[in-house]
Amino acid sequence: MAKTVAIIGAGCSGLTAIKCCLDEGLSPTCFEKSEDIGGLWRYTAGHFLCNHLQEIVEEKRASLYNSVITNTSKEMMCYSDFPTPEDFPTYLHNSKVLEYLRLYAAHFRLLQYIQFKTEVCLVSKTPDFSKTGQWEVTTECSGVKKKECFDAVLICNGHHVEPYLPLESFPGICDFKGRYIHSRFYKKYEDYRGKTVMVVGVGNSAGDIAVEISGVAKQVYVSTREGTWVLSRIFHKGLPLDMSLQTRCHFWIMNSLPAGLLHKLNAKQMNSWFDHDNYGLRPKDTSWLKEPMVNDHLPGQILCGAIRMKPHIRRFSESSVMFEDGSRVDGLDDVIFATGYTVFFPFLDESIVTVNDNNVTLYKNVFPLHHEKPTMAFIGLVQPLGSLLAASELQVRWAARIFKGAAQLPPVAKMFAHFQSTTERRIKCFGRGRNQTLQSYFIDYMDEVAVEIGVRPNIMRLLVTDPKLAVQVFFGPSTPYQYRLTGPGKWSGARKAILTQWSRTINPARTRVVQRPKDSGSVMRHIFVLCGLTTAILIGFYCVKWETLRPSGPRF
Ligand code: NAP
């Protein structure tokens, strides 16, 4: 009989979890608290309540603001055997991501495995766990509680649900008479028309919200402790940032450089759009590559004066805020704390997983180290400086093979040593901050998991068997299809998907067909080719003529 797997959450990780379990012959049941799929990517409107930290958006579910657009391009963020439709734009509005998830669920007939409006209240080990590795899952649906036993559990509930709001770090906030909220509760910019607003933090939420509000507010300030690099979605020649930079070739070169040179080049690259010093944004420590902000409009809004960058906050008072550099802003109406999230599993007790200031001890961000049996996996608990959706899918492919018994985990000591060495490397690369605990390089992380499944692309072999593809895999964007070329879960469409990824990227923007003007360069090229051809014909003609005219006789 097929092994049973409980999947918690029907967001982008949960959906692919169902599909990958089915691929491996497992029997999945997915529990979704809300009435629909999509998780974080399903926008719902909320209500504004001031100075309130209680749930005003859907409880225990990630909450988006309406304007969220992906910061990874559609080719990089799709599932590895299901390219985003060609007519979808390169960067997707959240409603388009949801549409894509619906297409995926429909194509692979996943909805039948989901129990909606069913909350998982508790996951605990069965009494004979050390022998069977089975889990008892307690759920609640319409007030009715139910306990079921499963062979394995996939935790796919996401880590952007529980807001991190350290009010104790902001002296005087209790005296502040204006409104303040965490960015989780931000929904619409209209609430800030004509107001003086302070956004705290420089993550992607802070950037998006500050830019959006700055269109209608009297003045927006953004306070940062550390600063950040800001990148545009659009890279050289208008190509998507991630498709241009997330290549194996680029990653290989960067990895081979000495750290000092790498940091210099990195700073040069980051400053190529605008000088971060002039905009008050440069990160304090440029030797760490914290997740950069991806925002196409922030520098423009700073240049127009609609947003003003400020250092860390010293204290609030009734209607003002003072900063560490001694400056102050009076007449402050609103504060939005875009201070990030806390990793939280309300249905697991500490003996199953311990979260310490966002640190979770997991082998390759997936398997707890101390369980007697490898029957629980955490999916999407990683921040890979690239597509989370693609990383989640690969994690779940690996977990499904472990559950099935088709792959094994190394001994605990080896996993622990790996955890320690990757933690050290992470701190060296990204720093110690609580929002860097899950960070890793995209290709690095993907390959690490792919090795476990046996699906890491082998460039040397490809070079011999399929040079055209090898060139695309090495020099082109490291799209998820690369992990479907060989090994378990091989997809026959992967090669074609890789060779056509650029046309799917560029075509959606070509909504007005334009004739390229014939530039003088191409005219010169034609003249050059014509001259070359004429010369070749003349030489040929001359040689033939010489052969026929030449008197026959012995050749010397
Ligand atoms: P985040 O990336 O964790 O950023 C939190 C920010 O809050 C950081 O700038 C941090 O500053 C600051 N902060 C934390 N504690 C603070 C304190 N005590 N005092 C002052 N500042 C403090 O959170 P997020 O922006 O909400 O993003 C969460 C995730 O969602 C990220 O992975 C992000 O990329 C993603 N996201 C994506 C999009 C998109 O695709 N368009 C939009 C929004 C969010 P320090 O750096 O100084 O610690």
Q: Of 294, 321, 339, at which residue does a domain stop?
A: 339
Region class of 158: left (phi > 0), else alpha (psi between -120 and 50), else beta = left
How far does residue 534's CA lie from ligand 1's centre (Å)? 64
Q: Are residues 334 and 346 in the same domain?
A: no
Contact criterion met (CB below 8 Å) for 29 and 3: no
Q: Are residues 15 and 41 in the same domain?
A: yes
Token pair in block for residue 108: 């692979």
For every residue of 278-313, DSSP letters joined together read TTT---S-TTS-PPPEE-SSHHHHHHTTSEEEE--E
C-beta 203 within 6 A of ligand 1: yes
Say if 73 falls within a structural domain.
yes
How far does residue 207's CA lie from ligand 1's centre (Å)? 9
Say if 248 falls within a structural domain.
no
Residue-level pLDDT at 522: 61
Is pLDDT of 315 > 60? yes
How far does residue 91's CA lie from ligand 1's centre (Å)? 20
Judging by DSSP bridges, how do beta strands 135-141 and 119-125 pair with one another?
antiparallel
C-beta 383 within 6 A of ligand 1: yes
Residue-level pLDDT at 542: 61
C-beta neighbour count of 515 within 10 angstroms? 5
Say if 502 falls within a structural domain.
no
Q: For residues 551-555, give the mean pLDDT.
A: 40
Q: Are residues 193 and 303 in the same domain?
A: yes
Q: Are residues 346 and 334 in the same domain?
A: no
User: Which one-letter DSSP state was computed for residue 172?
Assistant: T
pLDDT band of residue 551 (cuts 50, 70, 90) is: very low
Question: Of all atoms in ligand 1, which is nearest to the CA of residue 183?
Answer: 26
Q: Are residues 332 and 350 in the same domain?
A: no
C-beta 339 within 6 A of ligand 1: yes
Beta bridge partners of 308: 221
C-beta 233 within 6 A of ligand 1: no
**pLDDT tens-digit readout, 19-32:** 999 999 999 999 99
CA distance 285 to 437: 17
Is pLDDT of 54 > 70? no
How far does residue 435's CA lie from ligand 1's centre (Å)? 7
Higher pLDDT, 527 or 333: 333
Q: Are residues 310 and 346 in the same domain?
A: no
Say if 463 falls within a structural domain.
no
Q: Are residues 23 and 66 in the same domain?
A: yes
Is pLDDT of 519 > 70? no
Beta strands in 437-552 (DSSP E): none
Q: Are residues 55 and 172 in the same domain?
A: no
Is pLDDT of 529 > 80? no
**pLDDT tens-digit readout, 442-491:** 999 999 999 999 999 999 999 999 999 999 999 999 999 999 999 999 99
Judging by DSSP bridges, how do beta strands 362-363 and 367-368 pair with one another?
antiparallel
pTM of the model: 0.90
Say if 400 falls within a structural domain.
yes
Q: For residues 72-95, give the mean pLDDT.
A: 98
Nearest CA to ligand 1 atom 3: 340
Percent of the chain past pLDDT 70, that is, above it, reads: 91
Taking alpha carbons only, the member of 341, 281, 336, 337 closest to residue 311 is 281
CA distance 236 to 244: 8
- Our mutation pick for probing the ligand 1 site, out of 71, 97, 204, counting the most ligand atoms within 8 A of Cβ, is 204
Beta bridge partners of 336: 181, 199
| Burial of 241: CB neighbours in 10 Å, binned 0-12, 13-18, 19+ | buried
Q: How many domains does the chain have?
A: 2
Nearest CA to ligand 1 atom 32: 383
C-beta 77 within 6 A of ligand 1: no
Is pLDDT of 222 > 90? yes
Q: Are residues 150 and 174 in the same domain?
A: no
CA distance 454 to 465: 18
Contact criterion met (CB below 8 Å) for 227 and 283: yes
Q: Are residues 219 and 346 in the same domain?
A: no
Q: Are residues 133 and 85 in the same domain?
A: yes
C-beta 28 within 6 A of ligand 1: no
Q: Of 339, 363, 397, at which residue does a domain stop?
A: 339
Say if 77 falls within a structural domain.
yes
What range defines the domain where residue 23 resides?
4-161+342-453
C-beta 160 within 6 A of ligand 1: yes
Residue-level pLDDT at 547: 52
Residue-level pLDDT at 223: 98
Say if 146 falls within a structural domain.
yes
Say if 515 falls within a structural domain.
no
Q: Of 339, 374, 395, at which residue does a domain stop?
A: 339
Going across the sheet that includes 144-150, the strands are 119-125, 135-141, 144-150
Q: Are residues 301 and 347 in the same domain?
A: no
Residue-level pLDDT at 517: 77
CATH number for the domain harbouring residue 15? 3.50.50.60
